[in-house]
């Protein structure tokens, strides 16, 4: 199995529009961060976690031609904004796209993309056609890949991280409950939210994420959902052994 970071940035992406800070002006490709998303592949199954606001470009950049399902972490726009572009895979595969998400996420998806779920009298260029699978805390399969939801908090919002074998993806969180730490026991490779240096009401800071990663104890942790306040080369040189910054296009062979 392999996992590819499609986007390692925060909700605004990096560079931030109109900004001239050092990171936004950086020529280091690792400082170019699309909105957060991950692709998980086995020999037979391809799954995307979150249709980010940059979903179309992420698919074009990697030449993705088949998706077997989409798993959502929560309903914030940077994680669902590319939902309409699932139409392309409807056209290619000639079937509905299976999506796996919590009931609250589904309710917000219906509100945000109302035209895809109600009869407006005309279809125009088509609408994304999906096959809904409501999940909560129980493991579920997409093709031959098993996903174990990891309940976490994103401020006051319940979100899901996901464990896939000895790998876990935990974006958009600032609090992991004790019972979820148990679900993460034995993880060898971890991707974890680390927004910025300063405190934030819904995301881990770098310091908080480092402490959390050390408690989980994965052999290797990569930070994601990174804001423009962080210059890749600068922070990378100061992180503890076994912790690194993720970046767009990073491929993890598991």
Query: What digits encode the pLDDT tens for the residues 36-85?
Result: 999 999 999 999 999 999 999 999 999 999 999 999 999 999 999 999 99
Q: CA 152, 200, 83, 111 torsion: positive or negative?
A: positive
Question: Any idea what the CATH number is for the domain that residue 220 is in?
Answer: 3.60.15.10
Tally of domains in the chain: 1
Mean pLDDT of 220-246: 98
Query: What digits encode the pLDDT tens for the residues 92-104?
Result: 999 999 999 999 9
The pLDDT, as a whole number, for residue 113 is 96
The pLDDT, as a whole number, for residue 121 is 76
For the chain, what percent of residues have pLDDT higher than 70?
A: 99
Say whether pLDDT at 171 is over 90. yes
Say whether pLDDT at 88 is over 80. yes
Query: What digits encode the pLDDT tens for the residues 173-222?
Result: 999 999 999 999 999 999 999 999 999 999 999 999 999 999 999 999 99
Residue 239: band (very low, low, confident or very high) from pLDDT cuts 50, 70, 90: very high
The pLDDT, as a whole number, for residue 115 is 92
The pLDDT, as a whole number, for residue 10 is 98
Q: Which residues contact 12 (CB under 8 A, 6 or more apart)?
A: 227, 228
Nearest in space to 155 (alpha carbons), one of 199, 101, 112, 198: 199
0.85 cut: is pTM over it?
yes
Query: What digits encode the pLDDT tens for the residues 123-167?
Result: 677 899 999 999 999 999 999 999 999 999 999 999 999 999 999
Give the residue numbers spanning the domain of 138: 2-253
The pLDDT, as a whole number, for residue 126 is 87
Full 3-state SS string of the chain: CEEEEEECECCCCECCCCCCCCCCCCCCHHHCECCCEEEEECCCCEEEECCCCCHHHHHHHHCCCCCCEEECCCCCHHHHCCHHHHHHHHHHHCCCEEEEECHHHHHHHHHHCHHHCCCCCCCCCCCCCEEEEECCCCCEEECCEEEEEEEEEECCEEEEEEEECCEEEECCCCECCHHHHHHCCCCCEEEEECCECCCCCCCCEHHHHHHHHHHHCCCEEEEECECCCCCHHHHHCCCCCCEEECCCCCEEEC
Query: What digits encode the pLDDT tens for the residues 21-49?
Result: 999 999 999 999 999 999 999 999 999 99
Contacts 24+ apart (CB under 8 A), 23-28: 23/228, 23/229, 23/230, 23/231, 23/232, 24/228, 26/231, 26/232, 28/231, 28/232, 28/233
The pLDDT, as a whole number, for residue 75 is 98
For the chain, what percent of residues have pLDDT higher than 90?
A: 97
Q: Which residues contact 120 (CB under 8 A, 6 or more apart)?
A: none
The pLDDT, as a whole number, for residue 120 is 77
């Amino acid at each position: 199995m392999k996992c590819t970071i499609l986007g390692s940035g925060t909700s605004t992406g990096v560079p931030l529009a109109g900004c001239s800070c050092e990171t936004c002006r950086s020529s280091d490709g690792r400082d170019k961060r699309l909105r957060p998303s991950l692709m998980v592949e086995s020999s037979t199954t391809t799954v995307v976690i979150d249709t980010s606001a940059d979903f179309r470009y992420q698919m074009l950049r990697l030449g993705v031609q088949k998706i077997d399902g989409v798993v959502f972490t929560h309903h914030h726009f940077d994680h669902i904004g590319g939902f309409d572009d699932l139409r392309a895979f409807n056209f290619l595969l000639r079937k509905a796209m299976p999506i796996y998400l919590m009931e609250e996420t589904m309710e917000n998806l219906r509100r945000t993309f109302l035209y895809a779920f109600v009869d407006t009298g005309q279809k125009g260029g088509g609408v994304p056609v999906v096959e809904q699978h409501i999940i909560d805390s129980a493991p579920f399969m997409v093709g031959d890949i098993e996903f174990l939801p990891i309940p976490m908090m994103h401020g006051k919002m319940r979100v899901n991280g996901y464990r896939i074998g000895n790998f876990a993806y935990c974006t958009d969180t600032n609090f992991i409950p004790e019972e979820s730490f148990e679900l993460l026991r034995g993880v060898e490779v971890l991707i974890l939210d680390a927004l910025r240096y300063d405190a934030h009401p819904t995301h881990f800071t770098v310091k908080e994420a480092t402490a959390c990663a050390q408690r989980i104890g994965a052999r290797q942790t990569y930070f994601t959902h990174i804001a423009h306040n962080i210059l890749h080369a600068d922070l990378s040189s100061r992180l503890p052994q076994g912790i690194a910054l993720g970046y767009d296009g990073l491929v993890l062979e598991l």
